[in-house]
Structure 1
Amino acid sequence: MMKRRFAAMAAAGAAAALVLTGCAGGGGGDNGDQPWTVAEDVTIEGSATFEAMQSAGQIVIGVKEDQPGLGYLDAATGERTGFDVDIARWMAAELGFGEDQIEFKAIPSANREQELVNGNIDMYVGTYSITDSRKEQIDFAGPYAITGQGLLVAADNDSINGPDDLAGTNVCSATGSTPIQNIRENYPEAKIQEFDTYSQCVAKIEDGSADAVTTDALILLGYAAQSPDTLKTVGDTFSEEIYGIGVPKGDDAFRDFLNTALEEGGETWTAIWDANLGETGVEGEQPAVDRY
């Protein structure tokens, strides 16, 4: 299991600023220092997903692009960086696809299952929590990381220090996310705001129309690191979020291939974690794969 030090999230967020706003991104792009190599002559017997990718000559991967340190697109440079993005690049390389054969697609949280069901993406790698309800529509490889739900507030907000302080406040999260479901079910006195992306929620904190953003602690650390003068994370985590790679349901051969790549790539996983999240104050240890 991944060792987590989320009790001091605010301090970790400040410590993370240099990494998440400056040098996050690990081995992404074509900079030549990635800790993986593109495999050759890959075969996956009985995988319709892999056959379709081979025919197309590319792999289409759903990602987030507004989460610093995890999945982020720099609008000025066009560079994608982050732990999730590099996990996606690594899995693509294991499948035999280099950077120039990857098409990244930004998919809102609420649309992830449908994009996989419709065949619009081959897999999804972007803070995608494994849940039983999602397994009804898709499958998951992994997990490849574990975190927990946290809270982000304005830097001068001293009234919210944990989920028990949310009654009567405006709490924002992404539509279709597990964190917003947790708030709705377990903290019903909070006033819920929902948007397609977490960055929209962060904007609501900054303009004063929301009191807190809730999602996974690793995501919130990135936002706090980007704006340490105006935002902070507070309190301990109050759930467990297990990140998996979303894949089409029933393609067991494809899922097994990704699981094996994760299991055999411990050094690569560690290098990706250290490059992207090593300075956040959260110590990463790769979780065991669940071959359900």
Structure 2
Amino acid sequence: MFSRRGLILGSPVLLAAAPAAAQPVDQRADLQDITGRGSLRVTVPNFDSRPFFSAVSNRLEGLDIDLAQAIASELAVEAAFDRSPTSFNEAVQLVARGDADLAICKLSRTLPRARIIGYSRPYAQLNHGLLTHRVRFAAVARGRDMTEVIRNFEGELGVIGNSSFADFAGRNFPKARLQRFDTWSGMIDAIRSGNIDAAYRDDFEIKRLLVEDPSLTLVARSVTLTDLTDTLAIGIRPDAPQLAAFVDLFLELAHSAKPLSGDDLLARYRKTTGL
């Protein structure tokens, strides 16, 4: 908030003589760059994350792919996908360097990322979640209330390294002993074998996992953290203000004002996979 002092001190500036007019800056240069090359450069990591993005018979498909192609179509250009990143953070770095215009890839909004790229308005909002090992987590809980255990969690917590949840974990579970994994599947294996007490990710990914593999419920259970949210948005190169405004307007006009929820995405996933 502005203080009363700040507002009062600011007002005398209006009485001063106006400076010479500055040269106008063409704020459309970033869009002209895109239309001039005839392509919108979109980065997507080189792994699959259905229903957001996946490669089927060498063809990309999914919610984020459709979104990228629709934005490109509105700009009257083609969507050119760069799948060189091996992680979400590498996709962010590609956009930060200006080597991609957009990152449309289930990208979580975090403060460290917002320091180097722009973000669109959110198009999906998920709750945080835990996948807990039944026996190990019970030993950590020692009969205490679940809310208390989670708030002061001190056990072995798995996260995917170089991801938004690696950032979230340090802030939301400062007492936990973090174990970083290269992949989600590696973290799931650690839960199965009882090598960690819990895995930390968004609740959609955890619910999708249990839909795909119901047998996992024999050794693990899911916990949705309703007070913690993960907002997904489009990453935008930092020198492209007009592109950022265009993407926001596109999302406002072409999509529901309410971001997709984890349950919305799970229903879409079930429909596309028949699970």
Q: What TM-score do the two structures reach when normalised by structure 1?
A: 0.64
* Superposition deviation, residue 121 in structure 1: 1.7
Q: How is 1:22-41 mapped onto 2 (pairs within 5 angstroms)?
A: none
Name the structure 2 match of 1:220. Answer: 206
Distance 2:186 2:61 in 1: 20
Contact kept? 1:162, 1:236, Cα under 8 Å: no
Name the structure 2 match of 1:248. Answer: 237
* Superposition deviation, residue 269 in structure 1: 9.4
Distance 2:196 2:113 in 1: 28
Provide Cα deviations, 1:62-118, integer angstroms capped at 9, x if missing partner: 2243323233335xx3343433333233323323245xx432425312323321121
Distance 2:73 2:147 in 1: 41
Q: What is the percent sequence identity of the aligned residues? A: 20
1:198 aligned to 2:184?
yes
Contact kept? 2:206, 2:222, Cα under 8 Å: no
* Superposition deviation, residue 258 in structure 1: 0.7
Alpha-carbon distance change, 249 to 151 in structure 1, aligned in 2, over 3 angstroms: same
Count of aligned residue pairs for this structure pair: 232
Alpha-carbon distance change, 158 to 171 in structure 1, aligned in 2, over 3 angstroms: closer
Alpha-carbon distance change, 208 to 248 in structure 1, aligned in 2, over 3 angstroms: same
Name the structure 2 match of 1:128. Answer: 107
Q: Which of 245, 250, 265 is the aligned partner of 1:261?
A: 250
Q: CA RMSD in A?
A: 3.6
Alpha-carbon distance change, 233 to 49 in structure 1, aligned in 2, over 3 angstroms: farther
Contact kept? 2:89, 2:163, Cα under 8 Å: yes
Q: Which of 43, 52, 58 is the aligned partner of 1:70?
A: 52
Distance 2:256 2:105 in 1: 21
Alpha-carbon distance change, 118 to 239 in structure 1, aligned in 2, over 3 angstroms: same
Contact kept? 1:155, 1:230, Cα under 8 Å: no
Name the structure 2 match of 1:230. Answer: 216
Q: 3-state DSSP class of the match of 2:121?
A: strand
Name the structure 2 match of 1:147. Answer: 126
Alpha-carbon distance change, 274 to 89 in structure 1, aligned in 2, over 3 angstroms: farther
Larger radius of gyration: 2
**Greater relative contact order: 1 or 2 (C-alpha under 8 angstroms, separation 6 or more)?**
1
Contact kept? 1:221, 1:280, Cα under 8 Å: no
